[in-house]
Structure 1
Amino acid sequence: SMNPWVVKELAADKIVLERNPYFWAVDTMGNQLPYIDQHLQFFTGAGQAAEMKLLAGELDYADIDVGEIPIYKPEEAKAGFRVITTYMGNELAWPNVVPNLSLQDPVLGPIFRDVRFRRALSLAIDRQEINDFYFGGLGVPCQNTMNRDNPLYKPEWGQAWAEYDVDEANRLLDEMNLPWDAARQFRLRPDGQRLSIIFELEEWSLESCEPIKKQWEKIGVEVQWKVQGEAVYFERIKTNEGHMFSWTTWANNSEELYAKEGAMTPGSIDTPWGVPWEEWYQSNGQAGLEPPDWAKQYFEYRQKWMHARNEQEYIRWGQALFDWVAEYIPVIGTVGYPPTPVVVSNRLRNVMPRNIGMYETELWMLQLSIAP
């Protein structure tokens, strides 16, 4: 196995991992990795039970939520642990908002495909409120394009249609001839019905999306939550019947973007903005639905980026692709670079910001005697 650990025991409440004696990596002194012989992972769950184990010093490592930092930070000296907060560099946009642009609904479909509507929705999101509400103000309000550490990145991408501006959002919807109802509570569709969006998501992402509902009501757009399990959620994406989805966009660094054919892929689970359009592209027009010309541009730029013959072409077409993404915003971002806090016991050493979140655990080591 290429993994540093092998499974010794798998139970309902824990996993016991043992070091892989054939693991390929060694340290700079030639010592075989991992350093630790056995690694126990307990499924303690959230809440008081997990909190008690941490404060009693029974755990060497635990993931915590941002909102729990004030609970554990003051207890560091007493409980013998430290709180480390870093950023998962490849995670951008949590939550993201994904309108189904290939929706075949005769009324909502054309509305979603009008870029003015997506820009209005984006401008009506108070990203700082979401950042404060869900991430304790530690994230970065931004659009969902490319990771800022990517050498291709343009700063204007992260701010594209991301400034909170309700007046401009309302102006765009007025321009689309989506009038308010008599009570000026919600806007009306061209067929006279209330402009209402069914927002499909899993329960874990509902909390971070909650502020969006009230924010969009300020521009007259009603949101109805449809919370469902993962299997049903994924199946709904395939049907092309859902109005809007939400997931986390993970792959936004150079290698993962390229490996995933440019990210923002309309057929992917995290950004399903046009599943049958991707099917059309992948089948050379033999399956799926043919996208409109403006969406075909996306596939053209992606294709050229994927087949760049040199660095100059790689930069040119990669930036052209994300210029398109920033202009047409098929996926609406909210907050990027969310914090990842963990609690680490003082005896567990060599745990650094780059290898928390269960990454590079082969480098961890135990210091069995801690000086006061």
Structure 2
Amino acid sequence: MRQIVSRYRLPALACASVLALALGAGNAVFAQEYSQAPMLDALVENGSLPDIAERLPANPLVVEPVDAIGTYGGTWRSALRGGLDNAWIARTVAYDGLVRYNRAWDEIVPNLAESWEVSADSRTYTFKLREGLKWNNGTPFTSADIAFAVELMSEPGYGAGTFIKNQNNPVTVEVIDDLTFSLVFEHPNGLILDELASVNGFTLVSLSKDYCSQFYPKYNPDAEANAKAAGFETWELHMQDRCSWATETIRWANPDLPMMNAWMIEEPLTGTATRTSFVRNPYYWKVDTEGNQLPYIDHLQMRVSDSLEEITLMALNGEIDFQDRHIATVGNQPLFFDGQEAGDYRLGANVPSNMNTMVLQFNFNHVDPKRAELFQNKDFRIGVSHLIDREEIIDVVFTGQGEPFQAAPRPESPFYDEEMAKQYTEYDPDAASAAFEAAGLVRNGDFYTFADGSPLKITVDMISTVRPEWIDMMELIQLQLEAGGIDIELNNIDRTLYYEKRPLGDFDAQIWQGDGGLDVVQEPRYYMASGAESVWAYRWQAWYLGSNPEIAEEPADWAKEQMELYNQLREEGDADKRSELMKQVLALAKENFPVIGISLPGNGYYIAKNNMRNIAEPMLHAYLFPTPAPYDPFQWYFAQD
């Protein structure tokens, strides 16, 4: 077994009381040195809030600022693209699970849990919480809240897309005492700490038993009657309205729902809201190295707008203090670069975790057997790849930023394989022709047909609202493929329909961004048929996961071999052995070339007001590593000079 302690370092000149606090020792002396935000002073003086020493746990998490000790105050302004844009809230407010990633994304470190131990068989994970943690309403946060979350989310009518509902490896909670509990899995689980450290880790710590049990019949016999009186057909629907899980939008519509984050709901995100806002949590359990309670910033204010043009104009006018989501596009970059002085902001670098600007996925499981056979033919995919002039796309769409690249781990990844990344990326019409001939296609006039002479027109589905540059990319690819004999039709559709077509199997191809460049193990969707985002083999992944059995199809042997390797990986407790297993999965992906990539993304950027400080540069940018949250926005501040 192993025990982990905090990675947050203390400066060499830190006082002994701070050091004792950081190491979990007594805090009686240091408690006299705690400082709080001025906005809380009056609340303490009039008795609305306890003294700061009573609000903090016995051993608050001591966080070293990126650059300097900050000053209190101010409002961080940003924007949401419509009322469903909960991912930005997850990236700014919600990243506080039991554990978390460090800023370098190379270590899992303590957070709400001050330490943990792992059994030798990787089945039992025992966590110890910080003593004296409190929800933002002042009630204790204990092991009972963890057990309640698992119990509730295990209910058939109360969904949660996390490890809690994994029928292949069920989990139970053993409460040892108020501060100590164990997650016990039926089978070894070597990846659970990564799950808990990712953006998904919020789920387990998001439900206060004291508050949410009032909606649960097991704890309140009147819960069903209360639900109907409130206008809900079932208690589950009432519970979800009041105590939604994880980062679903509805969670941010209830200001009464207790939170453990640096900021709590002030103006809720309702269906008609034009703005949502958050205010500092007076019970937040982190301090800086001088004992100042975090966060430094008082308020977060988010404009809710469906208009990208409006949000972009806000940033250009200096009305956004920090943001990258939605507006930091390639097309906007010259505008933002030129507008820095007028808008009093700066541009900082983001290193994307994505390994590709776009991935083209042909449907291996097409309901038309003839198309399914063609799309599963590796020679066909090689031919398509050789017809794509990636240098032209990079020059025209991305102003020369990036390089030709397949769906493969990024160069910064320990899994990087140059051969895998570069195979079939040369623009070579002759090689394409040879590959199509090997795939059994016949050139009849301008375009290839099936061997029986029937026409081959391939429709590629896309959603331009996700990445506006996809339109330009696909229009170029359409011209390039048609010049090489492949008849392409572009189908720009609604996002709902885009997803609905997947289980039906009646589509030729879809595109998406290239996830899994740095988070290779956690996001293998393009390397193997691992989940519902493996659009190229949607029915293979249904077979693998046991979901949608009515559409499941047995995969090819090489894909089944990958699945077996990944199952071993998930159960392996040794990180080095997990890496070796992942390399074998990648080797099979390299050999069988399931999807087609276009180009390695150039660095992204963020926009930050010049007086906003302690922001790291560059930032690694991902969703599972929910940038900017791992760079600790609670220690950002507005400089007074």
Q: TM-score, normalised by structure 2?
A: 0.52
- The question of whether the paired residues in 2 share the 8 Å contact of 1:271 and 1:331 is answered with no
**Pick from 516, 519, 529: which aligns with 1:251?**
516
**Pick from 450, 458, 482: which aligns with 1:217?**
482
3-state SS, counterpart of residue 273 of structure 1: helix
Hey, what does 2:606 align to over in structure 1? 342
Hey, what does 1:189 align to over in structure 2? 450
Query: What stretches of structure 1 of length at least 5 have no aligned partner?
Result: none
Q: Which amino acid aligns with 2:434?
A: R
- The question of whether the paired residues in 1 share the 8 Å contact of 2:525 and 2:533 is answered with no
Is residue 178 of structure 2 the alignment partner of residue 178 of structure 1?
A: no
- Cα distance in structure 1, aligned partners of 2:317 and 2:543: 57
- Cα gap change, 1:362 to 1:166, in 2 (>3 Å): farther
- Cα distance in structure 1, aligned partners of 2:400 and 2:261: 36
> CA offset at residue 143 of structure 1?
0.9
Once the two structures are superposed, what CA deviation does each residue of 1:314-344 show, in whole Å capped at 9, x if it has no partner? 3332111111112212121112334322322
- The question of whether the paired residues in 2 share the 8 Å contact of 1:249 and 1:270 is answered with no
- The question of whether the paired residues in 2 share the 8 Å contact of 1:141 and 1:335 is answered with yes
- The question of whether the paired residues in 1 share the 8 Å contact of 2:525 and 2:531 is answered with no
- Cα gap change, 1:14 to 1:210, in 2 (>3 Å): farther
Once the two structures are superposed, what CA deviation does each residue of 1:115-161 show, in whole Å capped at 9, x if it has no partner? 10111112222223333333332234311122332223222221122
- Cα distance in structure 1, aligned partners of 2:532 and 2:525: 14
Is residue 462 of structure 2 the alignment partner of residue 201 of structure 1?
A: yes
> CA offset at residue 251 of structure 1?
3.4
**Pick from 589, 611, 616: which aligns with 1:325?**
589
Please say which of residues 95-104 and 139-148 is displaced more in the overlay: 139-148
Is residue 628 of structure 2 the alignment partner of residue 365 of structure 1?
A: no
Q: Which amino acid aligns with 2:407?
A: N
- Cα distance in structure 1, aligned partners of 2:431 and 2:524: 34
Hey, what does 1:229 align to over in structure 2? 494
Q: Who wins on radius of gyration, i.e. which is larger?
A: 2
Once the two structures are superposed, what CA deviation does each residue of 1:168-220 show, in whole Å capped at 9, x if it has no partner? 112211233312223xx211112312221111121224424332211211221
- Cα distance in structure 2, aligned partners of 1:307 and 1:151: 21
- Cα distance in structure 1, aligned partners of 2:620 and 2:435: 45
Is residue 531 of structure 2 the alignment partner of residue 268 of structure 1?
A: yes
3-state SS, counterpart of residue 394 of structure 2: helix
- Cα gap change, 1:50 to 1:140, in 2 (>3 Å): same
**Which one scores higher on RCO, CA 8 angstroms, separation ≥ 6?**
1
Identity, % of aligned positions:
25
- The question of whether the paired residues in 1 share the 8 Å contact of 2:515 and 2:523 is answered with no
- Cα distance in structure 1, aligned partners of 2:577 and 2:628: 36
> CA offset at residue 358 of structure 1?
4.3
Q: TM-score, normalised by structure 1?
A: 0.87
Is residue 316 of structure 2 the alignment partner of residue 59 of structure 1?
A: no
Is residue 357 of structure 2 the alignment partner of residue 94 of structure 1?
A: yes
Q: Which amino acid aligns with 1:366?
A: F
Once the two structures are superposed, what CA deviation does each residue of 1:28-66 show, in whole Å capped at 9, x if it has no partner? 33333221011112245333x445544443332343322
**Pick from 4, 20, 27: which aligns with 2:281?**
20
Hey, what does 1:147 align to over in structure 2? 410
Please say which of residues 149-158 and 264-273 is displaced more in the overlay: 264-273
- Cα gap change, 1:217 to 1:252, in 2 (>3 Å): same
Is residue 563 of structure 2 the alignment partner of residue 299 of structure 1?
A: yes
3-state SS, counterpart of residue 582 of structure 2: helix
**Pick from 346, 361, 364: which aligns with 1:82?**
346
- The question of whether the paired residues in 1 share the 8 Å contact of 2:350 and 2:620 is answered with no
- The question of whether the paired residues in 1 share the 8 Å contact of 2:460 and 2:510 is answered with yes
- The question of whether the paired residues in 1 share the 8 Å contact of 2:463 and 2:492 is answered with yes
> CA offset at residue 110 of structure 1?
1.0
3-state SS, counterpart of residue 535 of structure 2: coil
Alignment of 1:284-295 (within 5 A): 288-295=552-559
Is residue 396 of structure 2 the alignment partner of residue 133 of structure 1?
A: yes
Query: What stretches of structure 2 of length at least 5 have no aligned partner?
Result: 1-258, 622-626
